[in-house]
Amino acid sequence: MPYNIIVLIKVIPDLEQIKPNPTTGEIVTERTPLRLETLSENAIEAAVQLKEKYGGKVFGLIFGKPESAPMLKKAFAMGVDDGIVLTGYKGNNPVYTAEVLCGKIKGMQYDLIISGNQSADTYTGLLPGIISGKLGINLLGNALTIALEDRKIRVKSTLEKKIQNLSATLPAIVSVTQETNQPRLPPVMQIMAAGRKQIVTEAAQPQTMPGTVQISNRAPRSERKRQLYEKPEEGIAAVARAIKEEIR
Amino acid sequence: MIYLSSVLLLIGLLVAAASFLYTLYSLFWNAVKIPEKKIRMKISLPRRIYILIRNVVLQGKLFKDPSGGIMHALMFWGFVAFAGYSATFFVRGIDPSYELISPGIFKDIIFLTVDIFAIVVIVDVIYAVSRRWILKIPRYQGYNGFEAAFILLLISVLMVTYYVLGVLRMDGASAGIPGAIMEGIPPAFTPVTGFFASLFPAASGSGAVDLYWVLYSIHAIDFLTFLVYIPTSKHLHLVAAPLNVLLSKDTKPAQLTPIDFENQKRFGASDIRDFSWKDYLDFYSCTECGRCTFNCPAFLTGKTLSPRDIIWDLREVVIAQGSRARHSGIEEKDKILTPVIGDPISEEDLWSCTTCMACVEQCPVMIDHVEKIVDMRRSLVLNQGKAPKETIETYTNMENYGSPWVNDPSTRGDWAKDLGINVLSETQNDDFDILYWVGCVASYDRRNQDIAKSIVSILKKANVKFAILGSEEKCTGDPAKRTGNEYLAQNLATANIETLNRHRVHRVITGCPHCFNSLKNDYRAMGLEMEVIHHTEFINQLVSLGKLDLKSLESDEKEKFTYHDSCYLGRYNKIYEEPRTIIKAVTDNYEEMEMNKSKALCCGAGGGRLWMNETVGTKISHKRMEMADKINATTVVTACPYCMVMLDDARRVMGKEEKMHITDIAEFVASRLN
């Protein structure tokens, strides 16, 4: 049977291109190029694979900034059918993010929500859990495989040292890991079709952010000695000496 | 008067010619009706005639393998000599009163040539048999043994019966037989036949006449069998190969056919309709000689890729599906034309190709294997989003960072900090004569940054006013293009062309043959006109103009140098001599490795392979290092950052760090500047 799947897509500043302000140490992200969070790509892939297997539709939901719009096009190219960009993201606050997302999701028909199990910019890993609580649906975390049957979902979930089989009734929320799948390279026809699609944006509700507020975000100072050893044997000896001194 | 022999010969000829022409019609009509890929060609007649004479009449490319080349050339020239004889045989046989060639010295000379070449061909057949079945030349083994044996039998029977008929003619057995040919040719013009006649007692009487008719019949049936057999076997190349050479690509080497993403619906080659008519002619021209495969670096190191099999497999699919597809509607055609990737051509083989062009270089009938392989990669990447995992990551990096690696693009020019050079992304100062295009590898790879610095020191020493783009430079798109991601390659090229135009760049020097080939050939095809020079050419010019003065180092006395050819510099752009001239200007201690210049073994990095794992067989770079080791080279000079990465890694892994150095030609020169 066909399923309506919502995939939560996070857009983050490209971490490779983030630079701290050299005097204040404050992270400057204003002009940093944006990219799809890697785990969101896994989430999209998982959702599209389920659609291809069982039928249905995939809806992509981004909570970000207006500049996130091209990332939704990338999701379309990968096989997401429809989507929206909720604007007004004000920084890392999973409680607020969950509130905004759930506000939107409550008004939608859905069977399954899929997201990454965390994101590389904040690493809180809280969002799937909070959404599960706010919507009152089951959370099946760290899924390696996902199978659907009527109103049931079965998931092989990976924990640090074991794999467990979980099952729940739909609707549910599933979080995926990097091991879940290999995100596809979109075929050119789909890239071009996605390029022609209109992107719908909507201001996030509620507007005000509750709870904790980020006061500052500074990079730790690192003092590099910038010593270069051309010969491996000298370099290895120097590294060993440095580690020994540190242990002492 | 009508003779029974004439009637039988005419019927035989009509049947054989009808079979020959119908098979050809079917094959060539496949090539007209099925292909949907459009290609453009220039007429450039003088060049085509030159290539035809060089490679067909003189059999030029065959001599890249001299022992096989001489065998084929003698057979070919023998057949050409035999053509006049064959025509006379049938014309006289059918109408004994008609003389195709008027008697006289011209006719006598033709038959003299035939008489000499017939024995040459017999000896050549024995040579061919011994090569395939006694010496067991590896590239023939397992391929078309029956076809080869059958055709050699037909040829030898034709030649032997020619001589026996000649001997009987000399004995007078054919006197008065209507349609007997070579009557009236003076014995001096058939010396070999004369020699054979002298070995045997003269035949006479009705027995001799009967023998004449038996041999005449065998001779005629042999001819006609040959005619029927040609288009159904690998000997189709007798017809297809000269055409293929005449119509060979007139573009720069390995320039891939561009894709119009706005208007095309099918990308790359999925089934046989996605090739061009010229590709079909390539398939028909293949003789399975195996020169391509036995020069393929992937095959030579134990991978399953065989360019010969790719061409032959595609030919078989064309023959199997062609005529059915021609006679069917669009929907039915979709069912008949099955994808060629998967079966018979494996994805693994397509990804094993380094696009080094050794196969294309070697092919005597000018087949382009590499474009077909890239076209099939295009189908995988652009239609199905399929590529090796590492390649997909490379695409993501090229998209996000403008380089195949994860590198912050704002740091691209960091290697040049403190060198006091004009970095355009920072200065926007367009007052320069030449742009140094650094490339991704030299920008980010620690070892290759030394090469970039050497190029800078050479340019400074020669007082060249130059600049680099810094963070405005992006990957040229070569790794994307050669792995089939034409879409990404075109996006990167468009961005770079915009940058180059904005800075009004008219001259570029680059140290990377892959960037060089992209800028010089691929970008030019996209409308960018500028002079592109590789650093080997530029340094060679500077040395010959006296702008650089080189000295020998004391250590040069004890060294042995060799040069490893980059495929994209050598086979793609025919730059072989410049780097060698530079090295030899400094030292006499130079020796070539086996497989050099146009036959050079690839390092294994081209065609996007630098970013893929090489897990099957021996590593190509290791095989190359073994070749350097075999001549006891102490320094291998390269002129390509890809080769540097591969060979330097091979040197370390193989434990040859103490014994052997890898150096770029720029470093070689920079350390010897006076």
Is the same domain home to B340 and B288? yes
- The ranges assigned to domains in chain A are 3-218
Is the same domain home to B589 and B617? yes
Picking from A40, A185, A228 by the largest number of B CB atoms within 10 A of its own CB, the best residue to mutate is A185
Does residue A221 surpass a pLDDT of 80? no
State whether B261 and A188 contact (CB < 8 Å): yes
Residue whose C-alpha is closest to residue B220's, from B4, B16, B75: B16
The helix (H) or strand (E) run that includes residue A244 is helix A232-247
B23 lies in some domain: no
Give the neighbor-by-neighbor strand order of the sheet with A201-203.
A163-169, A152-158, A138-149, A172-176, A112-116, A3-9, A56-64, A82-87, A201-203
Q: What single-letter amino acid sits at B425?
A: S
Is the same domain home to B562 and B492? no
Picking from B386, B391, B396 by the largest number of A CB atoms within 10 A of its own CB, the best residue to mutate is B396
Interface residues of B toward A, Cβ cutoff 8 Å, are 261, 267, 381-387, 389, 392, 395, 400-401, 406-410, 487
Is the same domain home to B513 and B556? no
Evaluate whether B668 touches B582 at the Cβ level (below 8 Å): yes
All residues of chain A having their beta carbon less than 8 Å from the beta carbon of residue B410 are 17, 19
B29 lies in some domain: no
Looking at the structure of chain B, the number of domains it has is 4
CA–CA separation, B325 and B327 (whole Å): 5
Tokens coding A109: 């028909």
At the top level of CATH, which class does the domain A3-218 belong to? alpha beta
pLDDT at B253: 61
B54 lies in some domain: yes
pLDDT at A214: 75
State whether A186 and B385 contact (CB < 8 Å): yes
B531 lies in some domain: yes
Which pairing describes strands B507-510 and B434-437: parallel, antiparallel, or unpaired?
parallel
CA–CA separation, A159 and A182 (whole Å): 19
Is the same domain home to B222 and B106? yes
- Taking residues A66-71, report their average pLDDT: 92
CB proximity under 8 Å: A 35-64 to B: 35
Backbone torsions φ then ψ of B529, nearest 5 degrees: -100, 115
Residue whose C-alpha is closest to residue A98's, from A180, A210, A179: A210
Nearest chain B Cα to A182, which residue?
Answer: B389
CA–CA separation, B137 and B59 (whole Å): 20
Is the same domain home to B298 and B217? no
pLDDT at B415: 96
Burial classification of residue B25, based on how many CB atoms lie within 10 Å of its CB (0-12 exposed, 13-18 middle, 19 or more buried): exposed
Prediction ipTM score: 0.85
In 3-state terms, what secondary structure has residue B556?
Answer: helix
Tokens coding A98: 């969950």
State whether A185 and B385 contact (CB < 8 Å): yes
Of B198 and A208, the one with more pLDDT? B198
Is the same domain home to B292 and B163? no
Picking from A31, A76, A188 by the largest number of B CB atoms within 10 A of its own CB, the best residue to mutate is A188
Is the same domain home to B425 and B516? yes
Is the same domain home to B406 and B538? yes
User: Which residue, of B511, B543, B575, is where some domain finishes?
Assistant: B543
Cross-strand pairs, B583: none
State whether B382 and A188 contact (CB < 8 Å): yes
CA–CA separation, B441 and B257 (whole Å): 26
Evaluate whether B169 touches B182 at the Cβ level (below 8 Å): yes
Of the given ranges (A122-126, A193-197, B229-233, B505-509), which has the lowest mean pLDDT? A122-126
B347 lies in some domain: yes
pLDDT at B592: 98
User: Which residue, of B215, B230, B245, is where some domain finishes?
Assistant: B230
- What are A73-98's pLDDT values in tens digits? 999 999 999 999 999 987 788 889 99
CA–CA separation, B490 and B289 (whole Å): 36
Fill in the DSSP letter of residue B130: I
Nearest chain A Cα to B392, which residue?
Answer: A185
Evaluate whether B428 touches B438 at the Cβ level (below 8 Å): no
Is the same domain home to B49 and B76? no
Sequence-distant (6+) residues with CB within 8 A of B493 are B476, B477, B518, B522, B523, B526
Is the same domain home to B403 and B539? yes
User: Which residue, of B543, B566, B583, is where some domain finishes?
Assistant: B543
Backbone torsions φ then ψ of A167, nearest 5 degrees: -145, 145
Is the same domain home to B594 and B483? no
| Block mean pLDDT (10 aa), chain B, length 674 | 86 97 96 92 89 94 93 92 88 87 88 94 95 92 87 95 93 82 86 94 85 93 95 94 90 77 92 97 96 97 97 97 91 93 96 97 95 97 95 94 95 94 94 97 96 97 96 97 97 98 97 97 93 98 92 91 97 96 95 96 98 96 97 97 97 93 97 92
Residue whose C-alpha is closest to residue A47's, from A157, A183, A149, A156: A183
**B406 lies in which domain range?**
390-543
> Is the sign of the CA dihedral B288, B616, B317, B379 positive or negative?
negative
B660 lies in some domain: yes
pLDDT at A205: 83
Q: Which residue has the tokens 């030292």?
A: B587
B259 lies in some domain: no
Domain with residue B592: its CATH number is: 3.40.50
